[in-house]
Amino acid sequence: MEKIKAKMPKIISTALLVFTLMFQLSCSPQSQNEPEEKENVSSPPVQNIINLGNSPGNIANGGIMAQKDGWWYISQTNSSNELVRMRPDGSDRQVITTDKCYHINIIGDWIYYRNGSHNNYLYRIRTDGTEKEQLNEDSSWDILASEYWIFYRNNSDEDRLYMIKPDGSGRTALSFDRVNNIVLRGNWVYYSNVSDNYYMMRIRPDGSEREYILEEMSAYYNLLEPWLYYSNMSDNNSLYRIHLDTFENEKLLDLQVWDLHVAPDALFFSNWDNEQKLFRAELDGSNPRLLNDEEAWSIHVLDQWIFFRDGSNEWFRISKDGDDLERLD
């Protein structure tokens, strides 16, 4: 494990990943309404661990799945694009909505999501399927919900960082930067600044104290306290992590890491040095090993199961130890 000082490494071109991210950040028409004038934002007390609407790894991979209070929430399988909830054994299956749901976040008894069936606007619905509400008229990507604010990348306004209250009020633009990879930690919002070489930055929820954290091209942010894991596009997409208190920066794996999912017990990723196959490693990057021979992307984790799409865009799941591969019908 190599320790690196977090300061101005050279930039190495990683054309494919940059192209993929830029495609996701494709331009859309301007927002239909202007953001509200910045208010004196009421933020939670300063703390590192706060209640978020999904796991960092699921959010980094599109938020297609989530879990809460003994329920699994799944918005895509090979036969359906409905948002359903079920018990981990598949029982008590209920359809929540027939909307195409992405970036699922669950706070309290509300599910927040990007509605692919209605211009990618931000919606919410009760976990029992009642009281569906539209919260904005922005194409809302990379949604990250907390009990105080919902943060998102506004694809209707040049992919700027926005936030809005859970009831749809207080819609505010935080930054003029084009952003990706939104992470919330305490009273800081971290993001990859697409406007400036995908450098890692952070900003306060009131729009103040905008700071550069790491001047390296970075993607696939996953927070596991106190570390922020990322794929370093300045170093051939190798896996790194940075300590968000000391800013100690470490190189963990000299492999091309895509679709990173950092779970509390292990790392899961698509290894582009080995035909995009599903790999697992320890949290310090040690013991990387092949889990399955299928190509893997959009990696999600629910309990002891890893869910992923293969090269044919089919959904599968496999246990964390690499056994029991199943097609997700």
pTM of the model: 0.86
Write down all domains in the chain, each with its CATH number in brackets. Answer: 2-24+50-327 (2.120.10.30)
Beta-bridged to residue 184, according to DSSP, are 189
Give the whole-angstrom CA distance, residue 113 versus residue 62.
11
Q: Is 264 helix (H, G, I), strand (E, B) or coil?
A: coil
Q: How many CB atoms lie within 10 A of CB 230?
A: 32
Query: What's phi and psi for 67, nearest 5 deg?
Result: -145, 150
Supply the pLDDT for residue 50. Answer: 65
Measured between alpha carbons, how far is residue 105 from residues 23, 153, 234 in Å? 24, 15, 31
- Sorted by sequence, the CB contacts under 8 Å of residue 109 that are 6+ apart come out as 126, 127, 128
Residue 49 DSSP code = -
Asked if 275 and 287 count as a contact pair (C-beta separation under 8 A), the reply is: no
Supply the pLDDT for residue 79. Answer: 86
The amino acid that residue 312 corresponds to is S
Supply the pLDDT for residue 292. Answer: 92
- As a whole number of angstroms, the longest Cα–Cα distance in the chain is 53
Tally the residues of the chain.
329
Give the whole-angstrom CA distance, residue 237 versus residue 137.
35
Sheet holding 121-126, edge to edge: 101-107, 110-115, 121-126, 133-134
Pairing of β 257-262 and β 267-271: antiparallel
ω into 226 cis (within 30 of 0): yes
Asked if 270 and 295 count as a contact pair (C-beta separation under 8 A), the reply is: yes
Supply the pLDDT for residue 18. Answer: 46
In 3D, which of 64, 65, 71, 75 has the Cα closest to residue 92?
71
Give the whole-angstrom CA distance, residue 241 versus residue 294.
26
Give the whole-angstrom CA distance, residue 152 versus residue 182.
8
Asked if 318 and 296 count as a contact pair (C-beta separation under 8 A), the reply is: no
Q: Note the pLDDT tens digit of each residue in 188-215.
A: 999 999 999 999 999 999 888 999 999 9
Residue at token pair 């130890």 = 321
For residue 255 the two structure tokens come to 């492999």
**Which secondary-structure segment (H or E) carries 15?**
helix 15-24
For residue 245 the two structure tokens come to 């208190």
Supply the pLDDT for residue 34. Answer: 54
Supply the pLDDT for residue 51. Answer: 79
Supply the pLDDT for residue 329. Answer: 85
Residue at token pair 């690196």 = 4
Q: How many CB atoms lie within 10 A of CB 126?
A: 14
Q: How many CB atoms lie within 10 A of CB 169?
A: 10
Q: Which residues of the chain have pLDDT under 50?
A: 1-16, 18-20, 22-24, 26-32, 37-49
Q: Note the pLDDT tens digit of each residue in 131-183.
A: 999 999 999 999 999 998 999 999 999 999 999 999 999 999 999 999 999 99
Supply the pLDDT for residue 1. Answer: 47
In 3D, which of 202, 225, 204 has the Cα closest to residue 212?
202
